[in-house]
Amino acid sequence: MNLMKKVKCLVLFSGGLDSMLAAQLLKRIGIEVVPICFVSYFFNAKQAEESAKQIGLKLRIIDISSKHLNMVKNPKHGYGVGVNPCIDCHLMMIKEAGKIMKKEGFDFIATGEVLGERPMSQNIRSLELIERQAGLKGRLLRPLSAKLLPETIIEKKGLIDRKKLYDISGRTRTRQVALAKELEIKKYPSPGGGCILTEVNYGKLFRKLSEYKKIDGNDAIVLRLGRISFENNLLIVVARNEEECNQLKKMIKKGDVFVEPDNFSGPSVLIRKTGKISVKEMKEKGREYVLRYTKRSLLRDPMFIYLQLPIF
């Protein structure tokens, strides 16, 4: 290894155990590691920030919301069980990281991928496809499974010793847990979660709304909130608690009607049109849904507040 120049890499970092192990392992070898986390309407960097802090790394966060949403609507390689285009999503992140790598002079990109851990996106075919289509052949290292994969340019040039990499595969995490202990990683999240696109119910709602309108970022977020119904050219969202009420109020956009109880306790309701319908009908439907989820004992002479324009 050339000791005159510090070898630098970008690590795709979700904050899960695998990405923590990849980053920590490369640090132990002597690589300068910069973790990078991409965020969109469907996942955030909260876990990544906590995990990066734990292992003493400064996280770089990149927002790809708009570009990512466009891809989710029409992924080249299809969906998983929900509306999760895992191959296309990972490919997009690798490509974006590749741009940064070339612009800022990083030597390579690393990920926490484990061969065979996820049947759709981490089989040998998918790993090779992503590397090839990202234009990073030989510059993409998967340190946890490297010994099971073709030797990279990074290894051939002596930037990293292949003997110090691993040959982990499959869905069990026994070896990762043992390695976490060895690398002194004491806290890490359970597997799964993080991306709402993998949730079957969210996928159904996303597809349903797509039948009526072109989904934008606001829609993508609103579908995560409250009880969702579709009725008479309307998307109806009923807040389940005060936090959701406050979140929904922030999502009001032109054309919406937001209905909340005035002189009684009950849920707030966001009404969004998906077709031709009058404001009067929207208000009526909003009142109906507020009352539907209100305790009857509270109803005497109910009054309502209506908000129709963005207020934040």
Position 218 in a domain: no
Last residue of a domain, one of 148, 182, 216: 182
Residue with tokens 């919301």: 65
Per-residue pLDDT of the chain (312 residues; tens, 9 = 90+): 444 578 999 999 999 999 999 999 999 999 999 999 999 999 999 999 999 999 999 999 999 999 999 999 999 999 988 999 999 999 999 999 999 999 999 999 999 999 999 877 888 999 999 999 999 999 999 999 999 999 999 999 999 999 999 999 999 999 999 999 999 999 999 887 689 999 999 999 999 999 999 999 999 999 999 999 999 999 999 999 999 999 999 999 999 999 999 988 899 999 999 999 999 999 999 999 999 999 866 667 889 999 997 654
Tokens representing 306 are: 């209506």
Q: Which amino acid belongs to residue 158?
A: G
pLDDT of residue 193: 67
> What Cα–Cα distance (Å) separates residue 292 from each residue in 209, 237, 246, 260, 289?
23, 13, 20, 13, 5
Distance CA 288, CA 283 (A): 9
- Tally of domains in the chain: 2
Question: Is the same domain home to 278 and 148?
Answer: no
**Over the Cα atoms of the chain, what is R_g?**
24
Distance CA 141, CA 7 (A): 13
Question: Is the same domain home to 23 and 155?
Answer: yes
Position 216 in a domain: no
Q: Which helix (H) or strand (E) holds 230?
A: strand 227-231
Question: Is the same domain home to 26 and 143?
Answer: yes
Position 274 in a domain: yes
- Start-end of H helices in the chain: 17-29, 46-54, 65-73, 86-104, 124-133, 153-156, 174-182, 200-212, 217-222, 242-250, 279-292
Question: Is the same domain home to 170 and 33?
Answer: yes
Query: Left (φ > 0), alpha (ψ -120 to 50) or beta: where does 15 sit?
Result: left
Question: Is the same domain home to 123 and 242?
Answer: no
pLDDT of residue 5: 73
> CB of 269 within 8 A of CB of 237?
yes
Q: Which amino acid belongs to residue 60?
A: R
> CB of 158 within 8 A of CB of 2?
yes
Judge if pTM exceeds 0.75.
Answer: yes
Parent domain of 268: 225-307
Question: Is the same domain home to 100 and 171?
Answer: yes
Provide the CATH number for the domain around residue 95: 3.40.50.620
For 296-312, give one letter per residue: b (16+ CB within 10 A) or e.
eeeeeeeebeeebeeee
Question: Is the same domain home to 270 and 133?
Answer: no
Question: Is the same domain home to 157 and 50?
Answer: yes
pLDDT of residue 299: 67
Last residue of a domain, one of 153, 182, 211: 182
Tokens representing 218 are: 């606001």
Say what angle helices 174-182 and 17-29 make with each other, to 10 degrees.
Answer: 40
Distance CA 283, CA 123 (A): 51
